[in-house]
Structure 1
């Protein structure tokens, strides 16, 4: 992928957001001001979306590139502060707990995608589609409700994707590559970028097996490319730090985070978020259990896939 320039940007006006409303960073979060979750039945309004990426740009395996304009636009977009976590309503929280999650995407998505049952989606993207992202309409992790600081227990989030087909094999060239990434994001996140490429994101990619954590600079080799017909999963377990802060002034509610990756239901790789920070990735803001997190899928090229958030359908089963 092409990397944005690290030079300091001139301050600009707030870029257009992907959501129809937002919660400013300095707003006091409470139940009377919940975030504007998507209901899964509405597309995002064009007026709320950034301009679509150039048609010429695609991500490819190992040596492929995404358009530099996309990277720079995302870099500017991420100057917007993260939305503060808020206490969800009982209905919203209950829906998320029973995996009643629906896909949300922007006009950058080119293809078909639908929920085939509760917590299960099936979709495909058109050949030569540019980079785009699909997320859950509700968080899969609500910081106010799920944080180990609130519950005194660890919390694991996880989902799986099955790769049904690729209409252009990875490695065939920058304009022919197809694949996906599985990950998590905090909001707002640029919907023309895969999870893990920008701040508050993590993702593992099908075409080369690399993992990205808040990293626009190349990622790290992690596993092998995914095969057609294969099911992979990604999870994060949040837990209390071994040494808890002794005063309120020192308490930052940042959890320890163990990330794990599965293939065919078996854990084949894992890492500690804080011990293996990607080089040049900068802050881990958004991934330490103190913000809401959404399940996310990055897509490029022609891909057929199924997604499962319902633990009944997982190949991996929690111990």
Structure 2
């Protein structure tokens, strides 16, 4: 699904965030569905008016909650449906048939720049969560399952609540309806994987590491951490605070999994 349709001026300047820049060669639009030009323009104005929050050092109790996966869902006003915390680190929810574009995020960042940055800890930091697609129902435009799905990703706040992760600055996302990935990209994204199917579990993670440099290289206050983004599918066995995010459109039944005890992926799979 693409972030807009029609012809509007694309933002040429992408604010400096923990995410890599938008892809150089991407798609102009999606082959499955596209958001309205009006929604895209409204989102661009929102981002111009409300810059990203500066990172803050969390209170100990707040940071401890994230480490225990004690996270609550924050629903956007556009979200119509049900969402519940069925266990610590595990949500289950559904949107109503025909629900328009909406956003679901964690109430707390999974990555605190002032606490987790490798420049402070001298070690790497990985954030990750999974989403299980239980069922897809009628979408907002065609009243068919082809017009429903989700985007799994991360966002820096504030973020427009009617836009999916990956479409605006300070965000990335991978879409279920066409498998495209978006990084600060309001257009058609970039081909990445295949369409998700009912019953699949997908995961998205980011690993932050110290930049590689020669020992004699002097310190640079503008230096950025290295960021690796990875995606998992049915696996068995920065600069800003980042929130787990799920963009939803149409009728979707889903689970969101933050607790490693219920992941299909295990950290050892990457090493």
- The more displaced of 181-190 and 250-259 is 250-259
For the 8 Å contact 1:115–1:121, the answer to whether it is kept is yes
Q: Which residue of 2 aligns with 1:53?
A: none
Q: Secondary structure at 1:294's aligned position in 2?
A: strand
Seen in structure 2, the aligned counterparts of structure 1 residues 169 and 61 have a Cα distance that, compared at 3 Å, is: farther
Q: Which residue of 2 aligns with 1:146?
A: 116
Once residues 235 and 69 of structure 1 are traced to their aligned partners in structure 2, the CA distance between those partners, rounded to angstroms, is 31
1:225 maps onto 2:228 in alignment: no
Seen in structure 2, the aligned counterparts of structure 1 residues 104 and 260 have a Cα distance that, compared at 3 Å, is: same
Q: Which residue of 2 aligns with 1:100?
A: 70
Seen in structure 2, the aligned counterparts of structure 1 residues 262 and 201 have a Cα distance that, compared at 3 Å, is: same
Q: Which residue of 2 aligns with 1:290?
A: 239
Once residues 89 and 171 of structure 1 are traced to their aligned partners in structure 2, the CA distance between those partners, rounded to angstroms, is 44
Once residues 99 and 199 of structure 1 are traced to their aligned partners in structure 2, the CA distance between those partners, rounded to angstroms, is 26
TM-score (norm 1): 0.72
Q: Which residue of 1 aligns with 2:218?
A: 246
Q: Which residue of 1 aligns with 2:36?
A: 67
Q: Which residue of 2 aligns with 1:256?
A: 226
Quote the offset at 1:128 in angstroms.
1.1
Quote the offset at 1:90 in angstroms.
0.5
249, 266, 271: which is aligned to 1:300? 249
In structure 1, stretches of 5+ residues that fail to align are 9-59, 268-288
Q: Which residue of 1 aligns with 2:8?
A: 5
TM-score (norm 2): 0.85
The residue correspondences of 1:81-92 to structure 2 (distance < 5 A) are 81-92=51-62
Higher relative contact order (CA 8 A, sep 6+): 2
Once residues 168 and 112 of structure 1 are traced to their aligned partners in structure 2, the CA distance between those partners, rounded to angstroms, is 16
Q: Secondary structure at 1:221's aligned position in 2?
A: coil
Once residues 239 and 120 of structure 2 are traced to their aligned partners in structure 1, the CA distance between those partners, rounded to angstroms, is 11
Quote the offset at 1:69 in angstroms.
1.1
Equivalent residues, number: 245
The residue correspondences of 1:180-219 to structure 2 (distance < 5 A) are 180-219=150-189
Once residues 175 and 236 of structure 2 are traced to their aligned partners in structure 1, the CA distance between those partners, rounded to angstroms, is 17
For the 8 Å contact 1:61–1:207, the answer to whether it is kept is no
In structure 2, stretches of 5+ residues that fail to align are 12-28
